Chain A
């Protein structure tokens, strides 16, 4: 168990920069997810932390010790791979025992026949077997110990890979998209199990995923990565409700956040040419973007801020998502409605939308969050 510190790590593959100065502090026992679209550098960052890849610049420290130049094996980290990477020729028990055998048994003792005759070999064998059995029990794979990986289902292989990570009692667990090869149902179940395992072990977890649901449900903190940078690293609810960047707002949340153009005329803000009764100072940027989560929108009959036509809707039973075409199909927004409102959402129906000002987010043209403007607008709208 240890804290982990990544300081201004950069990585270049040839001319291409993959990581552009990543700094990340992970506390002891924390569960941090690295999330982002494919190619954002999250796996590379994990491999640098693991020691499988050398950074071009910057340092990695585990438990306050600089390990940047240290080999993967000496860092005492465990990694679970997307493909599980089990040794196909070894049984489940042997697979789980490998990290212990490599660490605790000398080369001489590992020799086939002579090894058994070396002093202390028997006791070591016993203690390894005990550790393997304990890890297997914890993951409920005790009955599979004599099988080969080829005879296991995807979920079982995944558990064996977890067992191999668990058995060595590592400083931190690194998980590289461990659930992406499982079917949807098993994924939900295993997700909960990994979160529970984290609580039970109270160990440091770094979890790479492109699935925002996994990140949201399991983590203490989420680091959203894009283009080789961490855009924001915070608790899941903050990432969702209070994103720093439009890219974070767009990546997290399903269906996607609605982004609408916002313009300033004098001190007045307007949306599609209609004034919003929001007043800002004259030095605010001319063009801005307004972010609205689907649940921030609601149907209204009186004085709607937006008008449109229902273009498509999806009924999920507990909720309905409707796509509303605004301003003659120039733009579409997604609305999250309750099943009770469904009859108002027939295809082609004209609807009026209002939104909760406090949950609206303003971004500048480059996508940076404009909290100052929101504060100004929020105050004025409350007064109005």
Chain B
């Protein structure tokens, strides 16, 4: 055994701690409720056919059904027909647990709508953050103006303010403007990201001044320099920022929970998880975990795609 084995042990332990919840989430999303309750079935569960009690309850045959089905079951009395119909319903309502969990995820709540809301909100936030942060960062990094250091000091100061501390005043302002229960309430408070300004400013500091002077000589306006020169060179930094921003707002439960009070059409994916919170009749862990899996999948896929671009990046090597 090599001498560094204990480092690997520590790292493996850390990885297990991080991955365990994901393992549980994925495993529960595949298992039947019984298996989840009893904690059996390994990772995949046994995938035995199961009957959806809710489906059966909804399709309970009534008088009219029995009358209509009389022709199909000649010579049977009503109780017999009812029993036969019951059996048919149970067959129709039985399915594999994995199918049950994932169909429930989509049918029980308008999950597609929630996902769409999530996309609208996170993408709007990210785009507006860039529109604000890039020119601000450019000015702070490359333009000389009176009070620049003071403004940068304010940016650093704002980094220290926790979101939860200002949540209430923000909510009150939005409420006074009549903006609660709108997309605006979900997006507007996040559009100015001081972290984004700080991150991009630090990156722009490394861009040679000559490049900006060359662009000025070539006839670009200051805004053209931001969008045509700084933005393309800043792609790696922007991707890093995108991961922070998109992950934070896609997964955010706190803020949507505050400003979206009634209108379910505005629910973001994390709010959608609440739909499976059992009130009196126990929780639906299977469909709930299926929903959670569906919610995190786009993030994981996006990260894997962006990861390659991270490493490639556009290097500034063309300038030296």
Contacts and interface: CB of A to CB of B under 8 A. Distances in A.
A95 to B, nearest CB: 9
A73 B214 contact: no
Contacts of B320: 83, 181
Contact of A73 (B210, B211, B218): B218
Contact of A77 (B210, B214, B217): B217
A148 B216 CA distance: 21
A85 B216 contact: no
Interface in A133-150: 148-150
B214 A79 contact: yes
Interface in B173-223: 208, 210-211, 213-220
A52 B216 contact: yes
B275 to A, nearest CB: 42
A361 interface: no
Tier of interface size on chain B: 20 to 34
Interface of B is mostly: helix
Which of B214, B216, B314 has most chain A Cβ within 10 Å? B214
Interface stretch (A34-42, A86-94, A292-300, A340-348): A86-94
Interface stretch (A96-104, A192-200, A279-287): A96-104
A77 B315 CA distance: 28
Contacts of A73: 216-220
A102 B315 contact: no
Interface in B252-311: none
A271 interface: no
Contacts of B219: 73, 99, 102-103
B319 interface: yes
A159 to B, nearest CB: 14
B156 interface: no
A149 B317 CA distance: 8
A150 B216 contact: no
Interface in A81-123: 81-90, 98-99, 102-103
Given A73-B217, A98-B218, A99-B219, A85 B317 contact: no
Given A81-B213, A85-B208, A88-B233, A99 B318 contact: no
A50 interface: yes
B319 A88 contact: yes
A84 B319 contact: yes
Contact of B229 (A77, A87, A157, A164): A87
Query: Most B CB atoms within 10 A — which of A83, A150, A164?
Result: A83
Contacts of A79: 213-214, 217
Given A73-B219, A99-B219, A85 B213 contact: yes
Given A86-B318, A88-B314, A150-B315, A72 B232 contact: no
A224 B288 CA distance: 78
B316 interface: yes
Contacts of B317: 88, 149-150
Contacts of B216: 52, 71-73
Given A103-B219, A181-B320, A88 B214 contact: no
Given A73-B217, A73-B219, A85 B233 contact: no
A88 B315 contact: yes
Contacts of A204: none
A88 B318 contact: yes
A87 B220 contact: no
Contacts of A86: 214, 318-319
B50 to A, nearest CB: 53
A323 interface: no
A10 interface: no
Nearest to B232: A89
A73 B210 CA distance: 15
B318 A157 contact: yes
28 contacts: A72-B217, A79-B214, A79-B217, A81-B210, A83-B208, A83-B319, A83-B320, A85-B208, A85-B213, A85-B214, A85-B319, A86-B319, A87-B214, A87-B232, A88-B232, A88-B233, A88-B314, A88-B315, A88-B316, A89-B233, A89-B314, A90-B232, A98-B215, A98-B218, A103-B219, A148-B318, A149-B318, A164-B214
8 smallest CB-CB distances across A and B, nearest first, come from: A149-B318, A88-B318, A102-B219, A89-B232, A73-B219, A85-B214, A85-B210, A81-B210
